[in-house]
Amino acid sequence: MQGRLERFLQDLGAARDLDGLTAAVRTLRDIFGVDHVVYHSVNAAGGQYAALTYSDEWVRRYIDLDYARIDPVVQGCFKRFNPVDWKRLDWSGKAQRAFLAEAIAHGVGRQGFSVPIRGPNGQFALFTVSDNRSDEDWAAYTEAHVRDLILVAHYVNQKALEIERGTDAVAMRALSPREIDALTLIAMGYSRGQAAESLSISEHTLRVYIESARFKLGAMNTTHAVARAMSSGMLVI
Amino acid sequence: MQGRLERFLQDLGAARDLDGLTAAVRTLRDIFGVDHVVYHSVNAAGGQYAALTYSDEWVRRYIDLDYARIDPVVQGCFKRFNPVDWKRLDWSGKAQRAFLAEAIAHGVGRQGFSVPIRGPNGQFALFTVSDNRSDEDWAAYTEAHVRDLILVAHYVNQKALEIERGTDAVAMRALSPREIDALTLIAMGYSRGQAAESLSISEHTLRVYIESARFKLGAMNTTHAVARAMSSGMLVI
DNA sequence: TTTCAACTCCCCCGAAATGGCGAGGCGTGC
DNA sequence: GCACGCCTCGCCATTTCGGGGGAGTTGAAA
């Protein structure tokens, strides 16, 4: 497999668009010998960009219903920095279990392994392999291939960024006035309680603004949100 | 206009006193092509400091009658943190309507757009442009120039603070390499644990860097430190 | 008219950050 | 030799933050 993988990484350079990347992902499926390979990038604005081997039907459904919001793989990996086996994610919610059942019905494997990747400007992507082996076989497989998976994940992401840059402009959603108010006070060093008092609103309401701003900015936490808002000029302190 | 604006921002550095600032504000009136430009700072003690193009008579009256207390622009902006068109303020009170009529009689424009600015120690200032265009024209004008207005507002305020204080901005102590590392990762959205892991140091050590950076930057908390470091260019995300 | 975004408020609880106490080694410069 | 800044580490209690539920109004847009 090593030889094929190296050849693949070289051939990857030829990809010029999403179709090229999708073809590359299909090749990867063969090389890795798994049921599915998925590259899935989610930008700050919530825009998605993917090259994968799932059925078109499942992809459409996933996008239409905005499943990224409940997908434990996306949500879980967004909080982590290490590759993770799907089994270690939190599938306990009702929505999550329903999502899992539906995914499997659409041909997604019972086993999965996802590598989170982060790029500049808060870019976040997932590189995933999925299969239907037994727990034991899958554990052995992932252990044996984790290095290759991480390597390929970064190559593919690099390529995707290169392709994406040609077209997209990652437009972050504008913040509402109150969100700017809240974020400004927080950036000025106020605690949530102080900021809420300054704005004459409840602390909870202030929290809602901060959370909403975090979401719009694709930020992991409040500090991140402030940093992104400042670097994009939405906030001037 | 861009060229003139940039030249203006450079020339602004030469202003040494209130007269210099007033001259700068008059130049701004020409550059922005509006009837009036006002920089108006109100400190915590109620002291006022202004450079503007209104008539002396109106200014005297405003100060003598302490109109800042009923001026919806001052009162409204004090509670907000984003630029605001005068039309969106609350002019419903009796005193406010009387104030408006009087202001217009003294040459203040019917349209206005004010940028609130906050500095250290509770300093609060307003940067305002005012004109007599139609609602439509004014909406188009403000939309087109809001970025420039905000930018200039902060430059002028910076200069005013410098003049008022008699000295240049407080020199923040430089951050050490490790402090920058730590703060950068935190600004990128990493938790302390993740950041520590990325730097291959203990979480406690990372905390020491953050605390040290907070201290050097005179920040109340981590988010504040990130904001200050970014606004002073120490951090580039 | 319905829909949607923005704005406001309430509860609970676990996880994370903060503040304060301590320690030692290394290198630069007076 | 000694001070000082930088880098590294541990433990404790307290505060703050983050995520999970809720609910309701308003005003603009479709």
Measured between its terminal Cα atoms, the distance across chain A in Å is 54
Distance in Å from C24's C1' to B236's CA comes to: 33
Instruction: Provide φ and ψ at A74, rounded to 5°.
Output: -65, -50
pLDDT value for B46: 58
Supply the pLDDT for residue B49: 84
Q: Would you say domain B2-165 falls under CATH 3.30.450.80?
A: yes
Residues of chain B contacting A226 with CB distance shorter than 8 Å:
223, 226-227
Q: What are A115-163's pLDDT values in tens digits?
A: 877 665 556 788 999 999 999 999 899 888 887 887 788 788 878 877 8
Nearest to B187 among A181, A189, A224 (CB): A224
List the B78 CA – C12 C1' distance (angstroms).
34
The reply to whether the CB atom of residue B192 sits less than 7 A from any atom in nucleic acid chain C is yes
Asked whether the beta carbons of residue A230 and residue B231 sit closer than 8 angstroms, the reply is yes
Residue environment code for B116-146, b if the CB has 16+ CB neighbours within 10 A, otherwise e: bbbbeeebbbbbbbbbebeeeebeebbeebe
Q: What is the DSSP-derived secondary structure letter of residue A86?
A: G
CATH tag, A2-167? 3.30.450.80
From first to last of its 237 residues, what are the pLDDT tens digits of chain A? 667 887 888 788 888 888 999 999 999 999 999 999 999 987 655 677 899 999 999 999 988 888 887 888 887 776 666 678 888 887 877 778 888 899 999 999 999 999 877 665 556 788 999 999 999 999 899 888 887 887 788 788 878 877 876 544 445 678 888 888 889 888 988 888 888 888 888 889 989 899 889 888 888 889 999 998 887 777 876
CATH entry, A177-231, from 3.30.1780.10, 1.10.760.10, 1.10.10.10, 3.40.50.300 = 1.10.10.10
**What single DSSP character describes residue A54?**
S
Q: Matching CATH topology for A2-167 and A177-231? A: no
Chain A nearest C-alpha distance from B63 (Å):
26
Given an 8 Å threshold on Cβ–Cβ distance, is A185 in contact with B231?
A: no
pLDDT, position A154: 79
**Below-50 pLDDT ranges, chain B:** 44, 121, 167-170
Distance CA(B225)–CA(A179), nearest Å, equals 20
Where do the domains of chain B lie? 2-165, 177-231
A237: nearest CB among B187, B189, B227: B227
Q: What is the pLDDT of residue A80?
A: 61
From B26, B59, B22, select the one nearest B159 (Cα to Cα). B22
Residues of B in contact with A200 (CB under 8 A): 79
